[in-house]
Structure 1
Amino acid sequence: MQQLYCESCQRFLADRFVVGSCPTEGCYNDFARGDQCEKCGKLLNSTDLVDPKCKVCGVTPCVRDTDHLFLELPQLREKLEKYIDETSVAGSWSQNAIHITDSWLKEGLKPRCITRDLKWGVPVPHEKYKDKVFYVWFDAPIGYISITACYTPEWEKWWKNPENVELYQFMGKDNVPFHTVMFPSALLGTGENWTLMKTISVTEYLKYESGKFSKTRGIGVFGNDAKATNIPADVWRYYLLSNRPEASDAVFTWTDLQAKFNNELINNLGNFVNRVLSFIAKPEGAGYSSIIPDAPNADSHPLSQSLAETVGKLVEQYIDAMDKVKLKQGLKIAMAISSEGNAYLQESQFWKLYKQDAASCAIVMKTSAALVYLLACLLEPFMLSFSKDVLQQLNLCTKAQISFCDEKREIAKANRTWDLVPANHKIGKPVPLFKALDNDAVARFREVFAGSQAERNARYITEGC
């Protein structure tokens, strides 16, 4: 094959060390990489680029002949298409994954180069190619298997057991072809009984404020940055999952994070949990001295029965969304249950019932406490620390992991929400779960994460941060 060689750097150029204009008609991206265009998503060879440049020195590379190993994708087409046709339906692949895979197949499968002329990487175990390494997207998925093998000698229980194991994968849209075409083809080509990916959940791009995330220029918030803000991890989890770009690109903005944090986590979820548990914790005469009241006639209380029916339907929708890996929808449904709880409290006017109708107030508070427990279970996949804290305040479970088991599902679906917590159970000490994010902090974060890393470090030093 022909490959780009930089005479200035005296080496063949790795795909990501080449930048040029995308050759795809109508794309007009002048910053496409040598392996893929991020704008249109098309997989490329570096020699396909128009006006390529070495990303290291800026010199125009020349083309040289070099000998490489290829994966013969055309010979695997029939097996691959059968796998894709069956699994994309059975595994409820996200629509963007299906679209990207179909467009790749329509272009026609071609032999794909799986080695590179580089000094770093996994060396090829073949005498003729001993000076070459494997292409990262041929080698990296194999790492999923080898990492498991490093963890346990029983790795085949996961990777060669398709009858009993379901493999789910999550990624950005630029990595789809490597996981729906390349890697399955490599496994199918062996003729062995591998566990192939069943479900793939693919996101579009997450943009930052008015532009793109860029580590090079220090624009955006990355792992260590997020930790340094001291914003709780569960707030990051909630915001990113509620803003997950499942069907189209999404934008991260500090004002949006602040709004979702203060309005949804504090005013909706946190307010409901604290309002319920604080009232139950009040001493006798004002509350229940931290004891969950009994409610033997809850099924005859119209308002509670109406809530239970609504919650039961939402739980069914939540389970369906999670089974189909629609995480954003699952989170939205869980938060809708919290909103129903707040509306239920307001409509019941429990603060008046306590003196006027003790039996009805007991039903409302037992049902509300059960809803708090249900929310801790439903939100555990999204906000682990929140769920752990709520369970500690309920004094129902001290473990971080919660299993939303069949019993709990059936109770909720049977419209008997109040039965999720036992009567006469003593709860723990209620405390506020979140602290508001103020305007000054948001303005500071927007400024700090808007410039280059060098500028940011200089500002930290200057300001004594």
Structure 2
Amino acid sequence: MRKVLEGEITEMDSLIGRDGDVKSVLSILYFARMSFCEIEDESVKKWMEVARKEYGCVVESLPAKYLKEVKARKVVVSEGIKVERRKDKEILPIEGERNILITSALPYVNNVPHLGNIIGCVLSADVYSRFCRLKGYNSLFICGTDEYGTATETKALEEGISCQELCDRFHKIHSDVYKWFDIDFDSFGRTTTPSQTEIAQDIFLKLNKNGHLQKETVSQLYSESCKMFLADRYVEGTCPLCGYNDARGDQCDSCGKLLNAMELKNPRCKIDGSTPIIKESTHVFIKLNDLQQKCEDFVKESSLKGQWSHNSVSVTNAWFKEGLKPRCITRDLKWGTPVPLEELKEKVFYVWFDAPIGYLSITAEYTKNWEKWWKNPDNVQLYQFMGKDNVPFHTVIFPCSLLGTGDSFTMLHHLSTTEYLNYETGKFSKSRNVGVFGHNVVDSGIPSSIWRYYLLSNRPEQDDSTFLWDDFAAKTNSELLANLGNFVSRTTKFLSAKYNGIVPNATLGDLENKFIEKINEELQVYNQNMEAVKIKAGLKSAMAISALGNLYLTEAKIDNNLFLNHRERCDTVLAFSLNIVYILSSLLYPFIPAACDSILEQLNAPLRFIPTAFSIDLLGGHQIGVPTHLFKKIEEAKIDELKKLYSGSA
């Protein structure tokens, strides 16, 4: 380093006196230059101490050429806390480690996801996946677009394009939206693959071989004008249970009950509005009644060990109480996985038999060793995330399909479900321009971390919740900006201005020990909540630690007087606070990764593992980066603009 600085020091000798006096305005430039360097020369060190009082703030306004040197700043952190970023290598279960397989419900490919879709599955799963990585668990996060079935075929028919064209377009739309939201899948695939056909047909044939399937000739709605049998979603009508006029043939969106198209009152063809007739068709049914006991035993054990959410258990048990019945798993469609029986080769699998198998096939497209994840029940735990309307398909139909094969599949360990997220005064509706959808979020100009924070702090875990613009602004301004942003800014800017960004050594006293006790209590709660997938509670604990950081700075009375007259005490306050910031960067990384990347850049520190107790890990001599604002206030005018844009008035 001496050789590197030799020219700098020689030139500085003509500018500074050996007594340490600052003699020239040009010294500012040299002070800025030397701020990024490790100094050994004693005379230069002495001069820097004097100059720092005059020119400390210069670091915040350096020319661009100096900013390039930030990466070369000295990094002094504890050993063993650094998380290795994900590399382009195949992730497989590791013997002796905790192996966690994470899936989020496969979104339908026929529309743009709205905020309720995003919080209900992919965002919640992403938080837990990131938490697992920062705890050092060996995890794999799988998702993809659900592309087969009536919904896709109907949408393609409406738009006058092929199903494949529709799927290609919307797969990219979904992928782009999730990337903008910082959803970090290990694999985001799709169900229209050879692996899907191979695995789904294999499961079907094993169920057939084991006697768990039966054929039945059923009466089905048929459109004479369209010359086709009408699958569930091709039929609309009045719900026989609640009287809702626009119920679908498979489910009523008003009361949430699953239906059979034949049960609808005043049925009509979705394609042309004509009244369908009843005609017979042969289909395959899975005999869920034969598999009920096995499924009940699985649910009883798994829901207890895996701490399923209350609504998941109650919905599932309601199905068992009513008694499982044979359920049709084939459809008269063209777009789907073909049924591998010669006499039924013109039919395809029903989407809710086929779709959950997409988790397996997407994994198979990711790795040829997919069975190490999906046929490894002793070494892999399966965590699944979805909205409450998907529960019975994942706790009854899908498990029965796997159990009936006789293969040793990795079965569901933990199920995390959400209730519905509504918008202002009603439901999200793309057709009526009500609510915020993925592309709206991108166009809003509001950073992804703010959207993520609000959705996660408002996550509908026990009851339905509502997206409210005023609440969105309030939480951003009073929590993200006034709490977290304020604490990070107060700490890093003071350190930059007064210490030239170099972390001093700390001598912890009674005040620090008092706050360490409180921080450790919150860390324990945080880790317990996140392990149990209580995401909203985990976020609350992390923000409580940020609030403790602000309170500590207030009680420590950090100001210019403390720096000038009680330097050793000021050293401790800054070092202690900065290490709280460092802990927050890991606790909040699962929730707001982009904002935490900014914190890490300002700290000039690597991503760290989530701790179980407070420790000093940014050590004395570490040099931080350039402080910057984490968040900006959302003004009332901006909120009024967005309200009008997505209120349905357009």
In structure 2, the residue matched to 1:79 is 294
In structure 1, the residue matched to 2:407 is 192
CA RMSD of aligned residues (A): 1.5
Q: Deviations over 1:17-62 (max 9, x none)?
A: 32233333xx443332211223333222111223323233333322
1:213 has 2:410 as partner:
no
Which letter does structure 2 place at the counterpart of 1:52?
A: P
Which letter does structure 2 place at the counterpart of 1:206?
A: L
In structure 1, the residue matched to 2:419 is 204
Per-residue deviation, 1:217: 2.2
1:369 has 2:578 as partner:
yes
In structure 1, the residue matched to 2:501 is 290
1:51-450 aligned at under 5 Å gives the runs 51-282=266-497, 287-296=498-507, 298=508, 301-351=509-559, 352-397=561-606, 402-404=608-610, 408-409=611-612, 411-412=613-614, 417=615, 419-450=616-647
In structure 1, the residue matched to 2:224 is 7
Which letter does structure 1 place at the counterpart of 2:604?
A: N
In structure 1, the residue matched to 2:165 is none
Q: Deviations over 1:199-256 (max 9, x none)?
A: 1110111111111101222221111111111211111111111111111111112211
Per-residue deviation, 1:356: 4.0
Which letter does structure 2 place at the counterpart of 1:293?
A: P
- Matched residue of 1:181: which SS? helix
1:50 has 2:265 as partner:
yes
Task: Determine which structure has more spread, i.e. the larger CA radius of gyration.
Answer: 2
CA distance, structure 1, for counterparts of residue 624 and residue 422 of structure 2: 43
Q: Deviations over 1:168-191 (max 9, x none)?
A: 111111111110111010000001
Which letter does structure 2 place at the counterpart of 1:346?
A: T
Q: Report if aligned partners of 1:35, 1:44 keep a CA contact under 8 Å in 2.
A: yes
- Matched residue of 1:270: which SS? helix
CA distance, structure 2, for counterparts of residue 369 and residue 253 of structure 1: 34
The list of structure 1 runs, each at least 4 consecutive aligned residues, that deviate by more than 6 angstroms after superposition, is none
- Matched residue of 1:8: which SS? coil
Per-residue deviation, 1:126: 1.1
Q: Deviations over 1:126-147 (max 9, x none)?
A: 1111111111111011111111
- Matched residue of 2:283: which SS? coil
Task: Specify every segment of 5 or more residues in structure 2 that has no aligned partner in the other structure, as ranges.
Answer: 1-217
CA distance, structure 1, for counterparts of residue 253 and residue 387 of structure 2: 11
Q: Report if aligned partners of 1:36, 1:42 keep a CA contact under 8 Å in 2.
A: yes
Q: Deviations over 1:290-343 (max 9, x none)?
A: 1111113x0xx2221111111101011111111111111111111111111111
Per-residue deviation, 1:421: 2.1
CA distance, structure 2, for counterparts of residue 106 and residue 61 of structure 1: 34
In structure 2, the residue matched to 1:461 is none
- Matched residue of 2:356: which SS? helix
CA distance, structure 2, for counterparts of residue 53 and residue 439 of structure 1: 46
Q: Report if aligned partners of 1:148, 1:155 keep a CA contact under 8 Å in 2.
A: yes
- Matched residue of 1:66: which SS? strand
Which letter does structure 2 place at the counterpart of 1:4?
A: L
State which of 227, 237, 260 in structure 2 corresponds to 1:20.
237
CA distance, structure 2, for counterparts of residue 159 and residue 425 of structure 1: 45
In structure 2, the residue matched to 1:463 is none
Q: Report if aligned partners of 1:277, 1:430 keep a CA contact under 8 Å in 2.
A: yes
CA distance, structure 1, for counterparts of residue 585 and residue 548 of structure 2: 15
Q: Report if aligned partners of 1:38, 1:174 keep a CA contact under 8 Å in 2.
A: no
**What TM-score do you get using the length of structure 1 for normalisation?**
0.90
Which letter does structure 1 place at the counterpart of 2:617?
A: L
Which letter does structure 1 place at the counterpart of 2:643?
A: R
CA distance, structure 1, for counterparts of residue 307 and residue 407 of structure 2: 25
CA distance, structure 2, for counterparts of residue 39 and residue 335 of structure 1: 37
Task: Specify every segment of 5 or more residues in structure 1 that has no aligned partner in the other structure, as ranges.
Answer: 456-465
Taking a change above 3 Å as real, the CA distance of residues 107 and 22 of structure 1, as seen in their structure-2 partners, is farther
CA distance, structure 2, for counterparts of residue 39 and residue 106 of structure 1: 23
How many corresponding residue pairs?
Answer: 432
